[in-house]
Each structure stands twice: as structure tokens, then as C-alpha cells.
Chain A
Amino acid sequence: MPRRSFVCRCEDVTLSEVDHAIALGLHEVEELKRYTGLGTGPCQGKECISALVKLLIDKGLADPETVQPFTARPPTEPVTLGALAAGLAPDAGDGS
């Protein structure tokens, strides 16, 4: 194995950082996300969540039958503020 392996390439979270968090007693995907920052970058976890879950299963910390990814947040893919602003319905007011 190379000296540094990245689990989350968006946020530069390495395998050793995840191992460190697990050693601190953090064993769930939601808390590992919030301790390491994994899955909070441009891809929003689409790439790293599987790697993280496999790590947890291999260590016996997650049950492959029941383990869930962290909560998916909208939007499904990045959307510009300009496009979102254009979607403001005329009757929705101006936010003031």
C-alpha cells in the first residue's frame, strides 16, 4: 500500500485519518463524516461513501445488511444560484 491513501479526494481525507477517528471510538458514517469532513466536498460523498462503508464492514463495525449512507442533502447535483433564483415563483414574495 502507498504511504498515503485517500478515502475522500474532494476533502483530502486519508485512510490514516479515518483509522485515527475510528480509534477514537467514532464508528458510524454520520459521525465519521463530521469528524473527518469526508463527503462534504463537490461530490458530496458519492465517491467516498462506499469506501468508508467497506472499511467499517471489514473492521466488523458495520453490518452489511443494515448500514446506511449518510443523509443525502439536496440538490442532487450542484446547481447555480442564478438558476435557483430564476425559480422563485412570482407569488412567493421577495423574501423581505
Chain B
Amino acid sequence: MIGNTKAQAMGRRDAPLPDRVDVAIIGGGIMGLATAYHLSKNSTLRIAVIERSYLVSGASGRNGGGLRMQWGDEGNVTLMMQSIEMCRGLAQELGINLWFRQGGYLFVARSEAGERRLMRNASLHRDVGAPTRLMTGAEAREIVPQLDTDQVRLAAFNPHDGVVFPWPFVWGYAGQAVARGVVVRTHTPVQRIEVLGDGLRLHLGTGEQLDADRVLNATGAWSIELNRALGIELPNHPHRHEIMSSEPLKPFLDPLVVDLATGLYFSQSTRGEIVAGITMPDTGPAATEVDLGSSRRFLAHLGHALTQVMLITSQLRVLRQWAGPYDVSPDGDAIVGPSPGVPRLYQVCGFTGHGFMMAPAVGKIVADLLSTGKHHPMLDRWDPSRFARGTSRRREDMIIG
């Protein structure tokens, strides 16, 4: 592509819908919109995106904006190397400021088990060309001088990892997709999917219908209801994850820091805020519906853990807290591809809290699959049918939160 198309619209509640499209995408989050963007760039398929609320209303507008290639599994490391590489030119490509800053991710381990994980990962990262380096606690303190590293046995730093401000990603993909002819309809729920002889019919909350050759369920943690109504039983489920943001400070914290001992993570956004979350002790059985409540319990846990390792944050003020859903897949791998029993309905779900960072790469992978049939290697392990076949396998142990 030469030059950028200036965005004229971001999706509207009154965007006119055609009677039929080639691909209908349910869900105006980053997955659906990145896929729509790549389809509009590289194919002549007619595309519509249907969002039940406003864009950025779901998990894409609620995550911490971290992007890392420091994973525990080769496939995920390689995928995130691609995604981060794509992000480097994405602000120009999408014509919007993404607040992308590559300050690295610093993992610290305070236990022997954590130390072993970081050593194993660093070896894997070296094999695939990711520039992760192991360091002592003293060396980690050279990167973050305010960090308490007394009990740190080992740290791992990758300078290519980074943070973004999530909202403009979604607007950027939406604006470019609309400029290339994608219909983005907001404030319109899909109530039911009907299987036709030659496609699928979406029954919309407005009373309208939209027929499509193929449909993407890109609704993440909200995907279960639409799937179940079609008899598609997949094991992903929503898990509430809380997060907070502080008053803005002058830039002082380069990397996003993850403390493996507590599951605490914190970073400084390019806007200056400290954004932080933590693994919370489990609170009962797996949820079936999305819960976006905020708790004081979270702020107390977070405050305790963060002030323990960064004493200077004691005087830092929390401006707001909110929650978002992880769309948890039981083996930690995403659920992407034709649905069992309804092959015209493609799933793009189950990203288990790391969908946002993977979306730049995944949008291209899914668009290639739909437009040319090109089969990225990750699609084998992401196959929605693996659970029924009994071939699901857990490969990844670096899921934080």
C-alpha cells in the first residue's frame, strides 16, 4: 500500500447494511476489526462488522496494553515477534497515534521454580531469535532503580517488548477498514444465527437480517451464548480481571515489570499513568457470563504488592480502576477456525488475556485464511475441534493475570 487513506468514519449505528456479504464479522473489537482491515486491503470480499455496543466497549478497551515476545512456547514467541514487528509501522499505516513505546518487559523471579522458567524461556527465545537476556537482581535495578530486588534470584529482559494505549488501535483499524469499503455497524446486537443452505443469516436486534457466506464470531468472552444457540459447545469461559491506572507522572519507568512471585505487573504508559494488575486468589467456580464489577479487594491486594516492590509508589494516587474479561481457553491456546458442526461459522476466540497483543498478527492470519485459504501453522493448534477430538494440549505457562 502506498500512502494512507484518511479515515472518514469509525463505524456508525446507522451504517446501511447490504442484504448479503461474503464475510460478516460479529464483534467490533481488535480481532474483528484487524481481520476486516486485512481483508479489505488484500481481497475483494464484501465485508460487514456488527458490534452490539460502541467500538472499544469490550476487552479491547479494557486491557493493559502490554505487548511481549517473552512467552514460554515457541509458537507464541514467534507469533508475538511478528505482531510487535507489525506494530512498529502500524501508526503510520493506520494514520493514528498508538502511543507505542518499546521499553521492554522485565520479568523477575523470586523462587527456584520461577528462576527455572526464566532460564528455560531464555534458551527458547535465543533459539528463535528473540533478544531476551537473563540478568541478576542488581542488573535489573539498573533498568528500574526503584525496584526492590533483594529476593530476586533471576530476571529476564527483552528490549523489544513494549506498551501501547489500546483504544486508538481499535479506532485505527476501524477507520481504515471503513475507508476501504467495510461496513461497520455499531449499537446493533446479533440475536441469533440461522444456518441456511448456502450461508448463514444473522438476525439483528434492529429487526434487520444480514446473510453471509461465512461469519466470524469475534466476540471473545461474549461468544458462548451465540455458539450454544447453534449447538456449538466450546470450553472457553469468561474470567474477570481487574486493573488500575494512576495519576500521570513524568516518564521514569521504562519496562513493563512482571513479578512472577505474585503475578503483579505494572508499566508506565506513554500518557504517564502507571497501569497495574495482579493475579487474584480464585473466587469460586468458573463464570459463564461476563462480570465487569470493580472491587476494593483488588486495590488492596494490588496496593500491597506494588508498594512492597516499589516503595516510592506509596504516595502514588489511583485515579480509576475497572475490569475486563479474559476469554479463558482451558489449554491456554486460542480457538480459531471453522466451528464443529457449523463450518461456515469461524471462531476467533479463547485468547486467554493475550488477544490484544496478538491481534495485529492474528488479524492477518485470519484474513489470509478467509481470502486465500492460506494455513498459518498456529491454526493447527488453535483448531476449535481439538477439544472434542481430545488432542488439546497445554504448552504455555507464561499467562499472567
Contacts and interface: CB of A to CB of B under 8 A. Distances in A.
Interface string B313-329: 11111111110000000
Interface stretch (B7-15, B66-74, B192-200): B7-15
B54 A81 contact: no
B61 A74 contact: no
Contact of A75 (B262, B299, B304, B313): B299
A81 B10 contact: no
Contacts of B317: 78-81
A31 interface: yes
B15 to A, nearest CB: 8
A41 interface: yes
B304 A42 contact: no
B131 interface: no
A79 B318 contact: yes
Grouping DSSP codes into helix (H, G, I), strand (E, B) and loop, the B interface class, with mixed when no group exceeds half, is mixed
Grouping DSSP codes into helix (H, G, I), strand (E, B) and loop, the A interface class, with mixed when no group exceeds half, is loop
B11 A85 contact: no
B56 to A, nearest CB: 5
Contact of A81 (B13, B261, B314): B314
A42 B281 contact: no
Contacts of B307: 81-82, 85
Interface in B261-301: 261-264, 271, 278-281, 294, 296-297, 299-301
Nearest to B53: A30
A66 to B, nearest CB: 15
Looking at chain A, what size class is its interface with the partner chain? 20 to 34
A26 B186 CA distance: 10
A88 B296 CA distance: 9
Given A24-B10, A44-B319, A88-B304, A82 B314 contact: yes
Interface of B: 7-13, 54-57, 61, 167, 171, 175, 186, 246-248, 261-264, 271, 278-281, 294, 296-297, 299-308, 313-322
25 contacts: A24-B8, A25-B10, A25-B11, A26-B10, A27-B13, A30-B57, A31-B54, A31-B186, A34-B61, A34-B167, A35-B10, A41-B248, A42-B247, A75-B299, A78-B319, A79-B317, A80-B315, A81-B302, A84-B300, A92-B300, A93-B281, A94-B262, A95-B262, A95-B263, A96-B261
